[in-house]
Amino acid sequence: SDLGVKVIIEKFASKRMNSETVGITGSEAYDLDNVQWAMRLTYSGEFIHAAPWSVGSQGYANVSHGCTGMSTENAQWLFERSHLGDVVVYTGGTRPLEPGNGITIWNESFDQWKSGSAL
């Protein structure tokens, strides 16, 4: 299923990711000090980033709390070629993008977009 188009809104060569900032605590909590090649896609904290700890599961199993992990090499390659405003299309999942959680204009039909016009 088509889950939506997300837009890169921030880029970090290195980023601390602490689950408590998005309400994940207890046994599911994490605090990673040096996540490399991180690109933010949503205001609620979804990123694409290097996740060398999950390379064996990538493309096969959901082992994240909402981020998309890549090998360090692939994440660096994408980071170096991506810019703020680039789109990332998500398919095949079960959780659609919430309107307004990031730059979500790409998910509107032309009629929806036009209805927001001041003209």
Catalytically active residues, by annotation = 49, 67
109 within 8 A of 34, measured Cβ to Cβ = no
Determine how β-strand 10-18 pairs with β-strand 31-40.
antiparallel
- What SS3 class is residue 74? helix
